[in-house]
Amino acid sequence: MMLSDVTLGDLCSRLAGQGVTLRTGPFNFRVRSPIDAVAHGMRLLYADHALTAESDFVDFDVHLTEATGVRRWFHRQARFVYDGASPFTPLPITHAFPLLEWSMNWCISTQAHQYLILHAAVIERDGLAAILPAPPGSGKSTLCAGLTCRGWRLLSDELTLISLQDGTIAPLCRPVSLKNESIDIIRRYEPSAVFSDVVHETTKGSVAYMKTSRDHLARVDTVARPAWVVFPKYVAGAAPSLTPRSRATGMLDLGRNAFNYAVLGVRGFDALGDVVERSDCYDFEYSALDDAVRTFDGLVESRRL
Q: Among residues 53, 13, 55, 52, which one has the least CA distance to residue 34?
A: 13
pLDDT in tens, 65-108: 998 766 665 688 999 999 888 999 999 999 999 999 999 999 99
Task: Say yes or no: 45 and 128 in one domain.
Answer: no
pLDDT in tens, 43-59: 999 999 999 987 899 99
Task: Say yes or no: 241 and 179 in one domain.
Answer: yes
Task: Say yes or no: 38 and 186 in one domain.
Answer: no
Task: Say yes or no: 262 and 128 in one domain.
Answer: yes
Contacting residues for 261 by C-beta, under 8 A, at least 6 apart: 116, 255, 268, 269, 272
Task: Say yes or no: 139 and 254 in one domain.
Answer: yes
What is the model's pTM? 0.95
* Separation between Cα atoms, residue 9 and residue 1, nearest integer Å: 17
Task: Say yes or no: 182 and 199 in one domain.
Answer: yes
Per-residue pLDDT at 304? 82
